[in-house]
Amino acid sequence: MVYKIMYTKTARAMIASIQQPQRSIILGRIKQLETEPEKYGKALWGPLRGHRSLHVSRYCVIYRVVREEIQVFILCVGMRKEGDKDDVYKLAKRLVRNFLDK
């Protein structure tokens, strides 16, 4: 079974801002999610329950697997900067909260 990879606008913009060759490496790892998305990354908890994080060098890819639709949604891609407003996990929590509020 091959999962379709879907990106949020935020994820697309974040990936576009990453310099080569790191961007290609990240996209290559994301492509691996097409076949066994739950084999990679680790399950998240708390406000990000149901999502997974895949670490690629200094970057984290936050994604969600939707088995029923055979899709992987890439929520955001960025660096872990604990305590910083640009921390990828803080951004992911805001995106999930904003989506649920709609």
Q: What is the pLDDT of residues 25-65, one digit of tens each?
A: 999 999 999 999 999 999 999 999 999 999 998 999 999 99
Q: Which helix (H) or strand (E) holds 77?
A: strand 71-79
Burial class of residue 11 (count of CB atoms within 10 Å of its CB; 0-12, 13-18, 19+): buried
3-state DSSP call for residue 97? helix
Nearest to 50 by CA among 34, 62, 36, 33: 62
Topology (CATH level 3) of domain 4-101: YaeB-like fold (3.30.2310)
pTM value is 0.90
- What is the residue extent of each domain of the chain? 4-101
Q: What is the pLDDT of residues 10-30, one digit of tens each?
A: 999 999 999 999 999 999 999
